[in-house]
Structure 1
Amino acid sequence: MKLTLSHIDALQELVNIGVGRAAGVLNDMLDSPIRLHIPEVRLLSPEELKVELKSQFDNSLLATVQLSFSGSFSGTAELVFPSESAAHLVSVLTGEAPGTPDLDVVKIGALLEVGNIVLNGIMGSLSNALIEHLDYSLPAYSENKVNNFPIFADIDENTKILLAHTCFIIEQLQISGDIILMFTVGSLDTLLKAIDLNFGEIL
C-alpha cells in the first residue's frame, strides 16, 4: 500500500496529539514549558535510517528508552536523548547536580519514567484514534551509539521503516530529545488501512 500525503498528514496530526498529551504531564513534572516541532514522516530502509541518525547524532553516545508494541500493527517506539540532555533532564527531575555520584543510580529510573510517559502518549493516541488494540512491552533503557542501537539487530535489510521524527525542547532548560516510531513493513499496510478507515471521522 502506498504512503500518500494524506497518510503523512494524518500521522503527523496523531503524533502531535500524543506528544501534546505527554507534554502536559511533563510540564507539571518539570515546571517548564515544552515546545514541540511538527513531526516529519518518511519511509526508510534500515540503512537509510542509520544514515539519518548518524547525520544527526554523529558518533555520540545516546540515552534511549525503547518501547515495543504489537497487535494490529507492530514495531518499536524510541525516545532518544544526547547524553548531555539526558543528564540535565535527570538532574532537573531528581534535584541531583550533574556529575554527582548519586545521579547515575537514579538516571535509568527517571528516564524510563519520562520515556514511558512520552511513548505511551503517542502510541495511545494512535491506537485510540484508529480503534486498534496494541500490547506493550515494558520500556527498556540503553546507552549506545547509532551503530549499536538494538533496533538494528533484528531488522531485515529489506524491511521498510516508517520514521515519524519529531523533537521537543524544554525551553528554559535547553533539553532536547527525539522521538522515533518504526513500523515493520507487514504492519504498515494495516496502519495505513486503519487511517483510511478512521481518520476522516476523528479529526
Structure 2
Amino acid sequence: MSTDLLTEDQREALQELVNIGMGQAGASIAQVLDEFVKLSIPRISSVAAANLSQEIVRLVGDADVSAIRQAFTTEFRGEAIVIYPEQSMAGLHEVMGYDADTKENKGEILLDIGNILVGACVGGIANLLGMLSAFSAPTLIADQTPAYRLLKPEHIQARVALLVEVYFVLEERDFRCHLIILMPETDILALGQALDRFVDGI
C-alpha cells in the first residue's frame, strides 16, 4: 500500500508553511511563559494507520505521556495532537508557578499550551493558504499513558494519515512537547491541491 500522497513540491511547500506557523506558535508561547523557545525543523510523512503507534514511540520514546487532542476544519479537516512526555512536566510546572501535585493545574497547563500551539500552527497555515479555519475545544486524551497506547489504528479514520511532526523546547527548562497533525486521505489530497494553488500564486 502506497502512503505517499503528497508530491515532493507539495511536501516542501507544506514544510515552509509549518515553519512559519510554528514560528508564530513559538513566539506566542515564549510571550506567555517568558522563556526562550527552541523549535525543531518539521518532519512530514504519510503513515499507514497500522504503523502509527510505532511512529509515536519513535518520536517521543517509550516513556509515559500525556496528550491533548483538537480537531480543526478548513478546506481540509484533521486533528492535532500535542504530546507531553511525563519526565518534562516538572519544568513546565516550575515556569507556570503551578503546584506539580495538583491534577487540575496540570490539565489546565496542557490544554492552554496545546491550544496556543495548534491555533498558531494550523491557523497560520490556513491563513497563508487563504482559508478560514475553525477549531474544536481541546480535550485531554491521555494522562500518564504509555506512548505505544496513545493512538491505535482504530482511532484513525483512514488507512493513511499525514504525520506532521514538530516539537518545541524551553531553553532554560527541562521541558519539551511534540505537535502531531493527523489528516485522512481525502483531506491530504485536498491539502495538496491547496498547496499547488499557493505555489502557483507565488
- Do structure 1's residue 198 and structure 2's residue 198 form an aligned pair? yes
The 1:130–1:65 alpha-carbon spacing in structure 2 relative to 1, beyond 3 Å, is: same
Per-residue deviation, 1:188: 0.8
Q: Percent identity?
A: 26
Q: For 1:68-107, list aligned pairs within 5 A.
A: 68-93=71-96, 95-98=97-100, 101=101, 103-107=102-106
RMSD: 2.1
CA–CA separation in structure 2 for the residues paired with 1:42 and 1:190: 16
TM-score, scaled relative to structure 1: 0.87
- Do structure 1's residue 55 and structure 2's residue 54 form an aligned pair? no
Q: Are the equivalent residues in 2 in contact too, given 1:87–1:107 (CA < 8 A)?
A: no
Amino acid at match of 2:108: G
Structure 1 match to 2:146: 145
CA–CA separation in structure 1 for the residues paired with 2:5 and 2:109: 39
Structure 1 match to 2:43: 40
Structure 2 match to 1:135: 134
Q: Are the equivalent residues in 1 in contact too, given 2:74–2:126 (CA < 8 A)?
A: no
After the TM superposition, which of the residue ranges 147-156 and 30-39 deviates more from structure 2? 147-156
Q: Are the equivalent residues in 1 in contact too, given 2:162–2:181 (CA < 8 A)?
A: yes
Structure 1 match to 2:167: 167
Residue aligned with 1:173, SS: coil
Per-residue deviation, 1:132: 2.6
Aligned residue pairs total: 197
CA–CA separation in structure 2 for the residues paired with 1:181 and 1:151: 15
After the TM superposition, which of the residue ranges 113-122 and 136-145 deviates more from structure 2? 136-145
Per-residue deviation, 1:71: 4.0
Structure 1 match to 2:13: 10
Q: Deviations over 1:75-122 (max 9, x none)?
A: 1111111012234213321x1354xx4x32211112111100001111
Q: Structure 2: 5+ residue runs without aligned partners?
A: none
Q: 4+ runs of 1 displaced by more than 3 Å?
A: 56-59, 150-154, 199-202
Amino acid at match of 1:171: E
CA–CA separation in structure 1 for the residues paired with 2:65 and 2:200: 38
Q: Deviations over 1:114-168 (max 9, x none)?
A: 1000011111112111123332110011323334335744325x62111111121
Q: Structure 1: 5+ residue runs without aligned partners?
A: none
Structure 2 match to 1:124: 123
TM-score, scaled relative to structure 2: 0.88
Per-residue deviation, 1:197: 0.4
CA–CA separation in structure 2 for the residues paired with 1:146 and 1:198: 36
Q: Are the equivalent residues in 2 in contact too, given 1:86–1:111 (CA < 8 A)?
A: no
